[in-house]
């Protein structure tokens, strides 16, 4: 399949390819077309597949009504109302399958984001343009 044709199709329809990584704790607001309501879901991103491509997917794991569920979403899904970044954890693996068996304190992660990056909508175009201080500025003498 021609990737450029697929990317042009998604650009023409106004779809945005999300920048989501494993270890992000997000809140998904998904529009349900049939019932016309918004379904909220707090979850951890376990894996991403074909990041940056129009046909990529990401797998999330979260709890709904005291039941752990996993869902697979496309990276360019039009039914998202908003996606809020709650936290981003420091992980060393690209696929976090081992978290399925962990319970309680074993399932803890260390946070790596600052307060400025929390609670931003990942669907906004300005969301990725958060200024970061890379270090001390050099003074002119």
The per-residue DSSP string of 74-130 comes to ETT-TTEEEEEEEEEEE-S-S--GGGGT--GGGG--EE---TTTTTEETTSSSGGG-
Q: What's the CA gap between 122 and 109, in Å, rounded?
A: 21
**4 three-class SS:** helix
Mean pLDDT over 9-19 rounds to: 74
* CATH number for the segment(s) 3-126: 2.30.30
Over residues 43-97, the pLDDT tens digits come to 999 999 988 777 889 999 999 898 999 999 998 888 889 999 999 999 998 999 9
For 71, the token pair is 């869902």
The dihedral through the CA atoms of 115, 19, 16, 76 has a sign that is negative
Over residues 127-136, the pLDDT tens digits come to 554 434 344 4
The pLDDT, as a whole number, for residue 46 is 95
């Amino acid at each position: 399949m021609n990737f450029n044709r697929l990317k042009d199709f998604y650009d023409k329809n106004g779809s945005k390819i999300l920048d989501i990584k494993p270890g992000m704790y997000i809140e998904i607001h998904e529009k349900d077309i049939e019932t016309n309501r918004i379904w909220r879901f707090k979850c951890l991103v376990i894996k991403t597949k074909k990041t940056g491509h129009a046909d990529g997917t990401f797998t999330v794991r979260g709890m709904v009504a005291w039941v752990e569920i996993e869902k697979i979403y496309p990276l360019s899904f039009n039914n998202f109302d908003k996606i809020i970044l709650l936290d981003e954890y420091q992980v060393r693996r690209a696929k976090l399958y081992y978290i399925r068996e962990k319970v309680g304190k074993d399932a803890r992660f260390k946070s790596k984001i600052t307060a400025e990056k929390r609670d931003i909508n990942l669907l906004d175009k300005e969301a990725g343009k958060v200024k970061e201080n890379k270090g001390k500025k050099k003074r002119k003498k």
